Structure 1
Amino acid sequence: MRIAKTLAVSVAMWALASTAAHAGTSKFTDLPGNPELKSASALVMDDEGNVIYGKDVNAVRPIASITKLMTAMVVLDAGLSLDEKITITKADRDLIRLTGSRLQYGASLSRREMILLALMSSENRAATALGRTYPGGMENFIAHMNRKARALGMQNTRFADPAGLKAENVSTAADLARMVKAAEAYPLITEASTTTRMDVYPFKGRGHLTYGNTNRLLKNASWDIELSKTGYINEAGRCLVMNATIEGEDVSIVLLNSFGKLTPFGDSNRLRKWMLASS
């Protein structure tokens, strides 16, 4: 719980810095023009919390698998053994979207590997299993997700499941910028969310399964990404959050409710091009 308190204080200090920051601290201050983004909500902030670009930042929207960042933080805050094996059961099925999974019943991986798969490849059964095996079970886990959100000052955010399958997982671009900032303090989250490829061995006597990252920008040499997470359900559209370095400056990017599989990546590139051209 000490980690949670420390993060709450650091995020509060970051929020205070956002209010008190002086104009001109970033080369991306007061940029002319408009990047013409397709995402319904968008927010770009520098490392001091200054807004570089904002669009409908306080609209409450479903956030799909962006939820998994909070899932990972709550698991890590609890100090549970990362080496403990977790076995997939029928309780981890997706009965909401009916999505499939290569983690069949009986698949067994360490908690660390489940976090890695949940973040890098957005594995729904891995995320659900992390919540199910939390002390006190799923109901207690979701309560801790919402408690953590309140501690981070995410006033317009609610969580309903650990995988982001329910449309009741909602937030705003402004709130998610807080969550992304907090998530950056967890080395395993930054590692997992930026790993491009991973092999796991969930079944004894069988070969490996290979997983890839859902963020295609990680393979783009033009991008220097420190943390990322994608999300999609029908109600949420395509979503993407990232911490990245552009022209030597750390920025947080939140893109919500894009339609078209590649739109968040296109919006990210439009943002970057606009920032570089105008700086």
Structure 2
Amino acid sequence: MAGQRAIFLMTAILAMVAGAGRPSPALAQAANFHPCNAQPALPICQHGYGRRVAAMRWGAPREALDPDAAVKAPLITRDPAGEIGKLRSTTIFVEDMDRAEVLFARDADVVRPIASIVKLMTALVVVDARLPMDEMITIDASDVGVPSELPSRLAAGARLSRVDLLHLALASSENSAAHALGRTYPGGMTAFVEAMNARATVLGMNDSRFVEPIGLSNENVSSARDLARLVHAASRQPLIGEFTTDARYSVDGRTFHNTNMLVGRPRWDILASKTGTTREAGDCLVMMVRLGGRNLAMVLLNAQGMSGSRFGDAVRLRRVLDSRMAAN
């Protein structure tokens, strides 16, 4: 009996060691279980992004949504200063791009990782190249094998047109689609990355550097001021503006949804947008919006707090900006 108990204990210890990086399946099946509540020291649980990945992977309940990100959140305020105090993004920048007037700035020149905001530059390079949009591209193992914690929804061997891949990369931030666009660029991925950095230079994005078209690498960096230039340029390309503001898109028998929960809402005139999320970059959002007859670039980086805080911050900023415009 003692020998069996020793074997059992050793087996349990080995199982714990093997599963040290993830919650156990048994725990994941418990009522109201959230892996990061049970094991908060797990690396995956150190950021809101990791908590959401854990929720998706183990079927845990979703995080509570930032109330200001909700559909019925009010868009007016009598307390602009209070709204500013509630902003949860560490880096914020709002500029009227027609007047070159900065309306709000917080750490606008800090250079930091930008996650999938990179895909706006990916799209600009693809559109600039004037490649045949109806060309069929086969997704291969390198496209679906990018080191993301979120699985690709495209399978190796799937054939999609270049325009479909661009649509998926922008609206639903499909990593495999963005990788395939870079891989099939004339000259391959190296030439594609060179084109990304060359385009950044033309736009005057002096704080920016790109190393791949997806946004998973922390070496893709920029500042909020640079990203305002990027989203403005993207909004002037009709195809990019259309795809980034498409609430949902169906291709190959599947429906993909926009990662920006503000897209499609009434009273929001969004001209272009892109989200980005990694543990290091945090939750990010860039948009060109039409507000009070003005074309505004809105950049929110590294939002902290509850799920949807970047969208809540966009609502809070809109309240502040609306109140200022009404006072003028």
TM-score range, shorter chain: 0.7 to 0.9
The amino acid across from 1:43 in the alignment is F
Q: Structure 1: how far apart are the matches of 2:129 and 2:276?
A: 25
Q: Which residue of 2 aligns with 1:263?
A: 309
Question: Secondary structure of 1:218's partner?
Answer: coil
Q: Helix, strand or coil for the counterpart of 2:104?
A: strand
| Correspondence for 1:135 | 186
Structure 1 outlier segments of 4+, above 4 Å: none
SS in 2 for 1:217: coil
1:227 matched to 2:272? The reply is: yes
TM-aligned CA deviation for residue 224 of structure 1 = 1.1
- Distance between the aligned counterparts of 1:214 and 1:163, measured in 2? 15
1:35 aligns with 2:81: no
Cα shift at 1:179 = 0.8
Q: Which residue of 1 aligns with 2:129?
A: 78
| Identity between Structure 1 and Structure 2 (%) | 49
Residues 121-156 of structure 1: per-residue CA shift (max 9 Å, x gap): 000000000000000001111111111111111111
Give, in angstroms, the shift of residue 182 of structure 1.
Answer: 1.1
Instruction: Structure 2: state its 5+ residue gaps.
Output: 1-79
**Counterpart for residue 277 of structure 1:** 323
Matches within 5 A, 1:18-97: 33=81, 35-36=84-85, 37-46=87-96, 47-97=98-148
Matched, 1:169 2:240: no
After alignment, is 108-117 or 218-227 more displaced?
Answer: 218-227
* 1:193-243 superposed Cα distances (whole Å, 9 cap, x missing partner): 000111101xxxxxx010010001113212111100000010000000001
**Residue 99, structure 1, aligned to residue 150, structure 2:** yes
2:280 and 2:145 mapped to 1: Cα distance?
A: 16
CA distance in 2: counterparts of 1:163 and 1:246, whole angstroms: 30
**C-alpha RMSD over aligned residues:** 1.5
Query: What amino acid sits opposite 2:311 in the alignment?
Result: F
Aligned match of 1:212? 257
Structure 2 distance, partners of 1:221, 1:185, is 22
Q: Which amino acid aligns with 1:78?
A: A
Task: Report the TM-score, using the length of structure 2 for normalisation.
Answer: 0.72
Structure 1: runs of 5+ lacking an equivalent: 1-31, 202-207
**CA distance in structure 2 between the partners assigned to 1:216 and 1:225 by the alignment:** 11
Confirm or deny that 1:110 pairs with 2:161: yes
Amino acid at match of 1:42: I
Aligned residues: 243
Instruction: Give yes or no for the alignment of 1:246 onto 2:291.
Output: yes
Shift of 1:92: 0.7
Question: Is residue 203–residue 229 contact of structure 2 (8 Å, CA) maintained in 1?
Answer: yes
Residue 250 of structure 2 corresponds to which residue in structure 1? Answer: 199
Deviation at 1:248, TM superposition (A): 2.2
Q: Distance in 2 between matches of 1:222 and 1:44?
A: 19
8 Å contact from structure 1 (residues 59, 173) kept in 2: yes
Indicate if the aligned counterparts of 1:195 and 1:213 stay in contact, CA closer than 8 A: yes
CA distance in structure 1 between the aligned counterparts of 2:150 and 2:180, rounded to whole angstroms? 15
Output the CA distance in 2 between the equivalents of 1:94 and 1:61: 25
Are the aligned partners of 2:286 and 2:298 in contact in 1 as well (CA < 8 Å)? Answer: yes
For residues 197 and 74 of structure 1, what CA distance do their matches in structure 2 show?
23
d(CA) in 2 for partners of 1:125, 1:265: 25
2:212–2:220 CA contact under 8 A, matched in 1: yes
Which stretch of structure 1 is more off in the superposition, 92-101 or 243-252?
Answer: 92-101
- Find the structure with the greater CA-based Rg: 2
**Which moves more between the two structures, 209-218 or 254-263?**
254-263
Query: Is the Cα contact below 8 Å between 1:71 and 1:145 reproduced in 2?
Result: yes
Shift of 1:278: 2.6
